[in-house]
Amino acid sequence: MRAAPTILHLDMDAFFAAAEQASKPSLRGKPVVVGGLGPRGVVATASYEARRFGVHSAMPMAQARRLAPNAAYLVPRFAFYRAISGQVMELLGRLSPLVEPLSLDEAFVDLEAGGVADDSASARAAGELLRRDILTTTGLTGSVGLAGSKMLAKIASEEAKPDGLVLIEPGTERELLGPRSVRIIPGVGPATGEHLRRAGITTVTEVVEAGEDELVRLLGKAHGASLYLMALGHDDRPVVAERDAKSVSVEDTFDVDLHDRLRIRLEVERLAERCVARLRGSGHSGRTIVLKVRRYDFSTLTRSETLRGPTDDPVVVREAAARLLDLVDTTGGVRLLGVGVSGLADYTQEDLFAQAEAEAQAEAGAADGVGEERRTEEGAVASSVVAAAPLTATERVERRWSPGLDVRHAVHGPGWVQGSGIGRVTVRFEEPTSAPGRVRTFSVDDPELEPSDPLPLVPGGATGAAA
Protein backbone atom coordinates (compact mmCIF):
# COMPACT_ATOMS: atom_id res chain seq x y z
CA MET A 1 0.00 0.00 0.00
CA ARG A 2 1.53 3.28 -1.11
CA ALA A 3 1.59 6.57 0.72
CA ALA A 4 0.58 8.43 -2.45
CA PRO A 5 -2.14 7.62 -5.04
CA THR A 6 0.32 6.81 -7.81
CA ILE A 7 -1.37 3.72 -9.26
CA LEU A 8 -3.73 4.64 -12.09
CA HIS A 9 -6.50 2.48 -13.48
CA LEU A 10 -7.97 3.41 -16.85
CA ASP A 11 -11.26 1.97 -18.06
CA MET A 12 -12.59 3.19 -21.40
CA ASP A 13 -16.30 4.01 -21.29
CA ALA A 14 -18.52 1.39 -23.01
CA PHE A 15 -15.58 0.93 -25.35
CA PHE A 16 -16.92 -1.19 -28.23
CA ALA A 17 -20.27 0.60 -28.31
CA ALA A 18 -18.68 4.04 -27.94
CA ALA A 19 -16.32 3.29 -30.84
CA GLU A 20 -19.31 2.32 -32.98
CA GLN A 21 -21.19 5.51 -32.05
CA ALA A 22 -18.13 7.62 -32.81
CA SER A 23 -17.72 6.03 -36.23
CA LYS A 24 -21.44 6.15 -37.10
CA PRO A 25 -22.94 9.65 -36.62
CA SER A 26 -26.52 8.36 -36.95
CA LEU A 27 -26.06 6.25 -33.79
CA ARG A 28 -24.77 8.97 -31.48
CA GLY A 29 -26.97 9.38 -28.43
CA LYS A 30 -28.93 6.24 -29.31
CA PRO A 31 -28.88 2.76 -27.72
CA VAL A 32 -26.22 0.53 -29.32
CA VAL A 33 -25.52 -3.11 -28.49
CA VAL A 34 -22.44 -4.95 -29.77
CA GLY A 35 -22.14 -8.72 -29.72
CA GLY A 36 -23.04 -11.98 -31.40
CA LEU A 37 -26.26 -11.58 -33.34
CA GLY A 38 -27.14 -15.25 -33.75
CA PRO A 39 -29.92 -17.00 -31.80
CA ARG A 40 -27.45 -17.84 -28.99
CA GLY A 41 -25.35 -14.68 -29.21
CA VAL A 42 -24.14 -12.75 -26.17
CA VAL A 43 -23.80 -9.01 -25.54
CA ALA A 44 -20.17 -7.86 -25.58
CA THR A 45 -20.84 -4.19 -24.75
CA ALA A 46 -23.89 -1.96 -24.45
CA SER A 47 -23.86 1.82 -24.75
CA TYR A 48 -25.01 3.84 -21.76
CA GLU A 49 -28.23 4.59 -23.63
CA ALA A 50 -28.89 0.83 -23.94
CA ARG A 51 -27.97 0.21 -20.30
CA ARG A 52 -30.90 2.36 -19.24
CA PHE A 53 -33.13 -0.43 -20.57
CA GLY A 54 -31.29 -3.02 -18.45
CA VAL A 55 -28.98 -4.34 -21.18
CA HIS A 56 -25.51 -5.32 -19.98
CA SER A 57 -22.47 -7.32 -21.09
CA ALA A 58 -22.64 -11.14 -21.01
CA MET A 59 -26.46 -10.97 -21.34
CA PRO A 60 -28.01 -13.29 -23.96
CA MET A 61 -28.66 -11.24 -27.08
CA ALA A 62 -32.24 -12.50 -27.28
CA GLN A 63 -32.93 -11.01 -23.84
CA ALA A 64 -31.29 -7.74 -24.84
CA ARG A 65 -33.56 -7.49 -27.89
CA ARG A 66 -36.61 -7.94 -25.68
CA LEU A 67 -35.44 -5.19 -23.32
CA ALA A 68 -34.36 -2.73 -26.02
CA PRO A 69 -36.08 -3.68 -29.29
CA ASN A 70 -35.26 -0.35 -30.94
CA ALA A 71 -31.51 -0.41 -30.25
CA ALA A 72 -28.94 -0.81 -33.01
CA TYR A 73 -27.46 -4.34 -32.87
CA LEU A 74 -24.01 -4.65 -34.43
CA VAL A 75 -21.37 -7.33 -34.80
CA PRO A 76 -18.00 -6.55 -33.18
CA ARG A 77 -15.16 -5.14 -35.31
CA PHE A 78 -12.24 -6.34 -33.22
CA ALA A 79 -9.48 -5.25 -35.58
CA PHE A 80 -10.92 -1.72 -35.39
CA TYR A 81 -11.09 -1.84 -31.60
CA ARG A 82 -7.53 -3.16 -31.36
CA ALA A 83 -6.28 -0.27 -33.47
CA ILE A 84 -7.91 2.25 -31.12
CA SER A 85 -6.65 0.31 -28.11
CA GLY A 86 -3.13 0.53 -29.51
CA GLN A 87 -3.41 4.31 -29.57
CA VAL A 88 -4.59 4.36 -25.95
CA MET A 89 -1.85 1.99 -24.79
CA GLU A 90 0.74 4.16 -26.50
CA LEU A 91 -0.49 7.13 -24.45
CA LEU A 92 -0.22 5.06 -21.27
CA GLY A 93 3.31 4.07 -22.23
CA ARG A 94 4.29 7.73 -22.30
CA LEU A 95 3.35 7.97 -18.62
CA SER A 96 5.33 4.98 -17.39
CA PRO A 97 7.29 1.91 -18.48
CA LEU A 98 5.05 -0.12 -16.17
CA VAL A 99 1.71 -0.57 -17.95
CA GLU A 100 -0.37 -3.66 -17.23
CA PRO A 101 -3.12 -4.12 -19.84
CA LEU A 102 -6.09 -6.14 -18.61
CA SER A 103 -8.02 -6.02 -21.88
CA LEU A 104 -8.37 -3.82 -24.95
CA ASP A 105 -10.02 -1.09 -22.90
CA GLU A 106 -8.54 -1.40 -19.42
CA ALA A 107 -5.08 -1.11 -17.85
CA PHE A 108 -3.11 -0.27 -14.72
CA VAL A 109 -0.24 2.25 -14.82
CA ASP A 110 2.49 2.82 -12.21
CA LEU A 111 2.88 6.61 -12.30
CA GLU A 112 5.67 6.55 -9.73
CA ALA A 113 7.79 4.29 -11.93
CA GLY A 114 7.35 6.78 -14.76
CA GLY A 115 8.46 9.68 -12.60
CA VAL A 116 5.32 11.67 -13.41
CA ALA A 117 3.71 11.60 -9.96
CA ASP A 118 4.75 11.32 -6.34
CA ASP A 119 1.80 12.93 -4.54
CA SER A 120 -1.93 13.53 -4.95
CA ALA A 121 -1.62 16.75 -6.92
CA SER A 122 0.81 15.38 -9.50
CA ALA A 123 -1.15 12.12 -9.79
CA ARG A 124 -4.39 14.02 -10.47
CA ALA A 125 -2.64 16.20 -13.05
CA ALA A 126 -1.31 13.11 -14.84
CA GLY A 127 -4.76 11.51 -14.83
CA GLU A 128 -6.48 14.59 -16.23
CA LEU A 129 -3.83 14.97 -18.92
CA LEU A 130 -4.32 11.34 -19.92
CA ARG A 131 -8.08 11.79 -20.26
CA ARG A 132 -7.61 14.85 -22.47
CA ASP A 133 -5.03 13.08 -24.63
CA ILE A 134 -7.30 10.06 -25.11
CA LEU A 135 -10.19 12.28 -26.20
CA THR A 136 -7.98 14.24 -28.59
CA THR A 137 -6.35 11.14 -30.08
CA THR A 138 -9.34 8.80 -30.36
CA GLY A 139 -12.46 10.91 -29.89
CA LEU A 140 -13.50 8.56 -27.05
CA THR A 141 -13.67 8.99 -23.28
CA GLY A 142 -12.12 6.99 -20.48
CA SER A 143 -12.59 6.96 -16.71
CA VAL A 144 -9.57 7.16 -14.41
CA GLY A 145 -9.10 5.92 -10.86
CA LEU A 146 -6.08 6.88 -8.74
CA ALA A 147 -5.11 5.26 -5.45
CA GLY A 148 -2.27 3.70 -3.50
CA SER A 149 -3.17 0.16 -4.62
CA LYS A 150 -4.52 -1.66 -7.66
CA MET A 151 -7.70 -2.73 -5.88
CA LEU A 152 -8.61 0.79 -4.86
CA ALA A 153 -7.60 2.33 -8.19
CA LYS A 154 -10.03 -0.01 -9.96
CA ILE A 155 -12.79 0.82 -7.47
CA ALA A 156 -12.07 4.52 -8.06
CA SER A 157 -12.40 4.19 -11.84
CA GLU A 158 -15.80 2.52 -11.37
CA GLU A 159 -16.85 5.47 -9.21
CA ALA A 160 -15.63 7.84 -11.94
CA LYS A 161 -17.78 6.40 -14.74
CA PRO A 162 -18.57 7.69 -17.18
CA ASP A 163 -15.91 10.15 -18.33
CA GLY A 164 -14.57 11.15 -14.92
CA LEU A 165 -11.66 10.92 -12.50
CA VAL A 166 -11.76 9.82 -8.86
CA LEU A 167 -8.75 9.92 -6.55
CA ILE A 168 -8.77 7.98 -3.27
CA GLU A 169 -6.51 9.59 -0.70
CA PRO A 170 -4.33 7.11 1.20
CA GLY A 171 -5.66 6.76 4.74
CA THR A 172 -9.33 6.86 3.71
CA GLU A 173 -9.51 3.24 2.53
CA ARG A 174 -11.36 1.77 5.54
CA GLU A 175 -13.98 4.50 5.47
CA LEU A 176 -14.53 4.02 1.74
CA LEU A 177 -14.67 0.23 1.72
CA GLY A 178 -16.61 -0.40 4.92
CA PRO A 179 -20.22 -0.16 3.71
CA ARG A 180 -19.54 -1.78 0.32
CA SER A 181 -20.59 -5.28 -0.65
CA VAL A 182 -17.96 -7.93 -0.05
CA ARG A 183 -18.16 -8.64 -3.80
CA ILE A 184 -16.16 -5.47 -4.43
CA ILE A 185 -13.00 -7.24 -3.19
CA PRO A 186 -10.92 -8.98 -5.90
CA GLY A 187 -11.30 -12.74 -5.80
CA VAL A 188 -14.79 -12.71 -4.26
CA GLY A 189 -17.00 -14.19 -6.95
CA PRO A 190 -20.57 -15.47 -6.79
CA ALA A 191 -19.69 -18.71 -4.98
CA THR A 192 -17.47 -17.08 -2.33
CA GLY A 193 -19.94 -14.22 -1.90
CA GLU A 194 -22.79 -16.66 -1.29
CA HIS A 195 -20.66 -18.68 1.14
CA LEU A 196 -19.92 -15.53 3.14
CA ARG A 197 -23.56 -14.43 3.01
CA ARG A 198 -24.62 -17.69 4.60
CA ALA A 199 -22.18 -16.92 7.38
CA GLY A 200 -23.78 -13.49 7.85
CA ILE A 201 -21.00 -11.55 6.10
CA THR A 202 -22.20 -9.24 3.33
CA THR A 203 -20.17 -6.01 3.70
CA VAL A 204 -16.48 -5.24 3.89
CA THR A 205 -16.91 -4.01 7.46
CA GLU A 206 -18.39 -7.38 8.41
CA VAL A 207 -15.38 -9.09 6.85
CA VAL A 208 -13.07 -7.08 9.11
CA GLU A 209 -15.26 -7.73 12.15
CA ALA A 210 -15.26 -11.48 11.47
CA GLY A 211 -11.48 -11.51 11.80
CA GLU A 212 -8.78 -13.42 9.97
CA ASP A 213 -9.18 -16.66 11.93
CA GLU A 214 -12.87 -16.94 11.07
CA LEU A 215 -12.23 -16.17 7.40
CA VAL A 216 -9.51 -18.81 7.25
CA ARG A 217 -11.93 -21.29 8.78
CA LEU A 218 -14.58 -20.42 6.20
CA LEU A 219 -12.44 -20.08 3.08
CA GLY A 220 -9.09 -21.72 3.73
CA LYS A 221 -5.76 -20.24 4.74
CA ALA A 222 -4.67 -18.50 1.52
CA HIS A 223 -8.05 -17.12 0.46
CA GLY A 224 -9.16 -16.17 3.97
CA ALA A 225 -5.93 -14.33 4.84
CA SER A 226 -5.90 -12.49 1.51
CA LEU A 227 -9.53 -11.43 1.87
CA TYR A 228 -8.91 -10.06 5.36
CA LEU A 229 -5.96 -7.94 4.23
CA MET A 230 -7.85 -6.51 1.27
CA ALA A 231 -10.83 -5.70 3.46
CA LEU A 232 -8.43 -3.62 5.54
CA GLY A 233 -7.36 -1.84 2.37
CA HIS A 234 -4.01 -3.61 2.08
CA ASP A 235 -3.11 -4.59 -1.48
CA ASP A 236 0.57 -4.78 -2.36
CA ARG A 237 0.18 -6.31 -5.81
CA PRO A 238 2.61 -4.55 -8.18
CA VAL A 239 1.80 -3.23 -11.63
CA VAL A 240 3.30 -5.83 -13.96
CA ALA A 241 4.49 -4.76 -17.41
CA GLU A 242 2.75 -6.25 -20.41
CA ARG A 243 3.14 -9.97 -20.90
CA ASP A 244 1.87 -12.15 -23.71
CA ALA A 245 -1.13 -14.12 -22.53
CA LYS A 246 -0.92 -17.86 -23.16
CA SER A 247 -4.52 -18.69 -22.28
CA VAL A 248 -7.82 -17.29 -21.04
CA SER A 249 -9.99 -19.23 -18.61
CA VAL A 250 -12.76 -18.97 -16.04
CA GLU A 251 -13.85 -21.41 -13.36
CA ASP A 252 -16.34 -21.69 -10.50
CA THR A 253 -16.22 -23.71 -7.29
CA PHE A 254 -19.62 -24.77 -5.96
CA ASP A 255 -20.58 -24.77 -2.29
CA VAL A 256 -22.52 -27.98 -2.83
CA ASP A 257 -21.37 -30.67 -5.26
CA LEU A 258 -23.38 -30.77 -8.49
CA HIS A 259 -24.95 -34.13 -9.37
CA ASP A 260 -27.59 -33.32 -11.97
CA ARG A 261 -26.08 -33.80 -15.42
CA LEU A 262 -28.28 -31.12 -17.01
CA ARG A 263 -27.27 -28.58 -14.36
CA ILE A 264 -23.60 -29.43 -14.93
CA ARG A 265 -24.01 -28.93 -18.67
CA LEU A 266 -25.74 -25.58 -18.15
CA GLU A 267 -22.90 -24.44 -15.88
CA VAL A 268 -20.34 -25.44 -18.53
CA GLU A 269 -22.22 -23.46 -21.17
CA ARG A 270 -22.38 -20.43 -18.86
CA LEU A 271 -18.63 -20.66 -18.19
CA ALA A 272 -17.97 -20.92 -21.93
CA GLU A 273 -19.89 -17.66 -22.49
CA ARG A 274 -17.90 -15.90 -19.75
CA CYS A 275 -14.64 -17.26 -21.14
CA VAL A 276 -15.40 -15.91 -24.62
CA ALA A 277 -16.33 -12.53 -23.17
CA ARG A 278 -12.93 -12.41 -21.46
CA LEU A 279 -11.21 -13.71 -24.60
CA ARG A 280 -12.79 -11.00 -26.75
CA GLY A 281 -12.05 -8.39 -24.13
CA SER A 282 -8.36 -9.20 -24.47
CA GLY A 283 -8.57 -8.91 -28.26
CA HIS A 284 -7.63 -12.55 -28.87
CA SER A 285 -8.99 -15.74 -30.32
CA GLY A 286 -7.75 -19.26 -29.62
CA ARG A 287 -7.42 -22.72 -31.16
CA THR A 288 -7.72 -25.05 -28.16
CA ILE A 289 -10.80 -25.36 -25.95
CA VAL A 290 -10.14 -26.80 -22.48
CA LEU A 291 -12.61 -28.19 -19.95
CA LYS A 292 -11.58 -28.64 -16.31
CA VAL A 293 -13.60 -30.78 -13.91
CA ARG A 294 -12.79 -31.32 -10.21
CA ARG A 295 -14.83 -34.19 -8.85
CA TYR A 296 -16.24 -34.93 -5.42
CA ASP A 297 -13.04 -36.75 -4.40
CA PHE A 298 -10.85 -33.76 -5.44
CA SER A 299 -9.49 -35.59 -8.48
CA THR A 300 -9.11 -33.17 -11.39
CA LEU A 301 -9.67 -34.03 -15.04
CA THR A 302 -9.01 -31.90 -18.09
CA ARG A 303 -10.16 -32.48 -21.65
CA SER A 304 -9.22 -30.41 -24.69
CA GLU A 305 -10.24 -30.04 -28.30
CA THR A 306 -8.08 -28.28 -30.88
CA LEU A 307 -9.68 -26.58 -33.88
CA ARG A 308 -8.12 -25.99 -37.29
CA GLY A 309 -7.81 -22.29 -36.57
CA PRO A 310 -8.46 -19.72 -33.85
CA THR A 311 -11.99 -18.74 -32.86
CA ASP A 312 -13.75 -16.23 -30.62
CA ASP A 313 -17.23 -17.48 -31.47
CA PRO A 314 -19.24 -18.26 -28.30
CA VAL A 315 -21.23 -20.94 -30.11
CA VAL A 316 -18.06 -22.76 -31.20
CA VAL A 317 -16.55 -22.61 -27.70
CA ARG A 318 -19.80 -23.58 -25.98
CA GLU A 319 -20.40 -26.57 -28.23
CA ALA A 320 -16.79 -27.74 -27.94
CA ALA A 321 -16.97 -27.52 -24.13
CA ALA A 322 -20.22 -29.52 -24.18
CA ARG A 323 -18.59 -32.22 -26.32
CA LEU A 324 -15.68 -32.38 -23.88
CA LEU A 325 -18.09 -32.76 -20.98
CA ASP A 326 -19.48 -35.86 -22.69
CA LEU A 327 -16.02 -37.42 -22.22
CA VAL A 328 -16.08 -36.94 -18.44
CA ASP A 329 -17.70 -39.20 -15.83
CA THR A 330 -19.41 -36.93 -13.29
CA THR A 331 -20.85 -39.75 -11.21
CA GLY A 332 -20.49 -38.91 -7.53
CA GLY A 333 -20.66 -35.15 -8.02
CA VAL A 334 -18.66 -32.17 -9.27
CA ARG A 335 -17.21 -29.44 -7.04
CA LEU A 336 -15.45 -27.26 -9.66
CA LEU A 337 -15.87 -26.56 -13.36
CA GLY A 338 -13.71 -24.47 -15.64
CA VAL A 339 -13.55 -23.57 -19.33
CA GLY A 340 -10.49 -22.12 -21.02
CA VAL A 341 -9.12 -21.22 -24.44
CA SER A 342 -5.42 -21.51 -25.28
CA GLY A 343 -3.28 -21.27 -28.39
CA LEU A 344 -4.12 -17.57 -28.55
CA ALA A 345 -3.84 -15.44 -31.68
CA ASP A 346 -4.37 -11.76 -32.47
CA TYR A 347 -7.05 -12.40 -35.06
CA THR A 348 -10.63 -13.40 -34.66
CA GLN A 349 -13.43 -15.55 -35.94
CA GLU A 350 -13.73 -13.91 -39.34
CA ASP A 351 -10.14 -14.97 -40.12
CA LEU A 352 -10.97 -18.50 -39.04
CA PHE A 353 -13.76 -18.71 -41.60
CA ALA A 354 -11.45 -17.67 -44.41
CA GLN A 355 -8.77 -20.07 -43.19
CA ALA A 356 -11.20 -22.95 -42.72
CA GLU A 357 -12.62 -22.46 -46.20
CA ALA A 358 -9.15 -22.45 -47.76
CA GLU A 359 -8.14 -25.54 -45.84
CA ALA A 360 -11.37 -27.28 -46.75
CA GLN A 361 -10.70 -26.66 -50.42
CA ALA A 362 -7.08 -27.79 -50.10
CA GLU A 363 -8.05 -30.90 -48.18
CA ALA A 364 -11.33 -31.73 -49.93
CA GLY A 365 -12.52 -35.16 -48.98
CA ALA A 366 -10.21 -35.46 -45.95
CA ALA A 367 -11.94 -36.81 -42.85
CA ASP A 368 -11.65 -35.09 -39.49
CA GLY A 369 -8.84 -36.61 -37.45
CA VAL A 370 -8.74 -37.57 -33.81
CA GLY A 371 -5.40 -37.07 -32.11
CA GLU A 372 -3.85 -39.38 -29.58
CA GLU A 373 -4.59 -38.91 -25.92
CA ARG A 374 -1.95 -37.11 -23.91
CA ARG A 375 -1.17 -36.56 -20.25
CA THR A 376 -1.61 -33.16 -18.69
CA GLU A 377 0.55 -31.76 -15.91
CA GLU A 378 -2.11 -32.84 -13.43
CA GLY A 379 -1.90 -36.40 -14.70
CA ALA A 380 -5.33 -36.35 -16.31
CA VAL A 381 -5.94 -37.59 -19.83
CA ALA A 382 -6.75 -34.91 -22.40
CA SER A 383 -7.97 -35.74 -25.89
CA SER A 384 -7.09 -33.54 -28.87
CA VAL A 385 -9.76 -33.46 -31.57
CA VAL A 386 -9.31 -31.69 -34.89
CA ALA A 387 -12.53 -30.28 -36.32
CA ALA A 388 -13.36 -28.21 -39.39
CA ALA A 389 -16.50 -26.13 -39.95
CA PRO A 390 -16.44 -24.37 -43.35
CA LEU A 391 -19.30 -21.97 -43.95
CA THR A 392 -22.13 -22.58 -46.38
CA ALA A 393 -22.63 -20.11 -49.23
CA THR A 394 -25.56 -18.49 -47.36
CA GLU A 395 -23.51 -18.16 -44.17
CA ARG A 396 -20.68 -16.53 -46.11
CA VAL A 397 -23.09 -13.96 -47.55
CA GLU A 398 -24.55 -13.24 -44.09
CA ARG A 399 -21.08 -12.86 -42.62
CA ARG A 400 -20.01 -10.56 -45.48
CA TRP A 401 -22.96 -8.22 -44.86
CA SER A 402 -23.28 -8.39 -41.06
CA PRO A 403 -24.80 -5.30 -39.37
CA GLY A 404 -22.14 -2.76 -38.48
CA LEU A 405 -19.44 -3.80 -40.94
CA ASP A 406 -17.75 -1.24 -43.19
CA VAL A 407 -18.45 -1.07 -46.91
CA ARG A 408 -17.65 1.20 -49.83
CA HIS A 409 -19.77 1.85 -52.90
CA ALA A 410 -18.22 2.96 -56.18
CA VAL A 411 -20.71 5.84 -56.45
CA HIS A 412 -21.86 6.63 -52.91
CA GLY A 413 -18.55 6.15 -51.07
CA PRO A 414 -18.00 4.76 -47.55
CA GLY A 415 -20.78 3.48 -45.30
CA TRP A 416 -21.80 0.63 -43.03
CA VAL A 417 -24.26 -2.23 -43.18
CA GLN A 418 -27.55 -1.64 -41.36
CA GLY A 419 -28.96 -5.04 -42.23
CA SER A 420 -29.36 -7.69 -44.89
CA GLY A 421 -31.69 -10.47 -45.95
CA ILE A 422 -33.55 -12.00 -48.87
CA GLY A 423 -30.72 -11.13 -51.20
CA ARG A 424 -30.62 -7.43 -50.26
CA VAL A 425 -28.29 -5.34 -48.13
CA THR A 426 -29.14 -1.96 -46.60
CA VAL A 427 -26.32 0.54 -46.18
CA ARG A 428 -26.12 3.90 -44.44
CA PHE A 429 -23.56 6.16 -46.11
CA GLU A 430 -21.79 8.35 -43.56
CA GLU A 431 -18.33 8.95 -42.12
CA PRO A 432 -17.11 9.62 -38.55
CA THR A 433 -16.76 13.35 -39.29
CA SER A 434 -19.92 13.74 -41.39
CA ALA A 435 -23.56 14.40 -40.54
CA PRO A 436 -25.89 11.38 -40.28
CA GLY A 437 -26.07 9.88 -43.76
CA ARG A 438 -28.67 8.52 -46.16
CA VAL A 439 -29.79 4.91 -46.39
CA ARG A 440 -29.84 2.89 -49.60
CA THR A 441 -30.56 -0.75 -50.45
CA PHE A 442 -28.65 -2.93 -52.93
CA SER A 443 -28.48 -6.49 -54.14
CA VAL A 444 -25.99 -8.53 -52.09
CA ASP A 445 -24.06 -9.24 -55.29
CA ASP A 446 -23.96 -5.63 -56.50
CA PRO A 447 -20.51 -5.33 -58.14
CA GLU A 448 -20.16 -1.70 -57.04
CA LEU A 449 -20.50 -2.55 -53.32
CA GLU A 450 -17.69 -4.20 -51.40
CA PRO A 451 -16.41 -4.58 -47.81
CA SER A 452 -13.79 -2.03 -46.80
CA ASP A 453 -11.48 -0.98 -44.01
CA PRO A 454 -12.91 1.27 -41.29
CA LEU A 455 -12.26 4.99 -41.40
CA PRO A 456 -10.34 6.63 -38.52
CA LEU A 457 -12.42 8.26 -35.79
CA VAL A 458 -10.15 11.29 -35.76
CA PRO A 459 -8.60 12.68 -38.98
CA GLY A 460 -5.10 11.26 -39.27
CA GLY A 461 -5.83 8.53 -36.72
CA ALA A 462 -5.03 4.85 -37.15
CA THR A 463 -7.47 2.09 -37.97
CA GLY A 464 -7.30 -1.66 -38.31
CA ALA A 465 -8.49 -3.88 -41.14
CA ALA A 466 -12.20 -4.43 -41.10
CA ALA A 467 -13.25 -7.33 -38.95
Question: So which residues are the catalytic ones?
Answer: 106
Residue closest to 366 by CA, chosen among 388, 383, 393: 388
Helix (H) or strand (E) holding 449: strand 449-451
d(CA 306, CA 287): 6
Q: Are 293 and 337 in contact (CB under 8 A)?
A: yes
Under DSSP, the state recorded for 59 is S
Pairing of strands 406-409, 386-387: unpaired
Listed residue (47, 43, 78) closest to 60, CA to CA: 43
Q: In what order do the strands lie in the sheet with 285-295?
A: 247-258, 334-345, 285-295, 300-311, 386-387
**Distance from C-alpha of 65 to C-alpha of 20, rounded to nearest angstrom:** 18
The DSSP annotation for 109-170 comes to: EETTTTTS-SSHHHHHHHHHHHHHHHHHHHS--EEEEEESSHHHHHHHHHHH-SS-EEE--T
Question: What DSSP character marks residue 100?
Answer: E
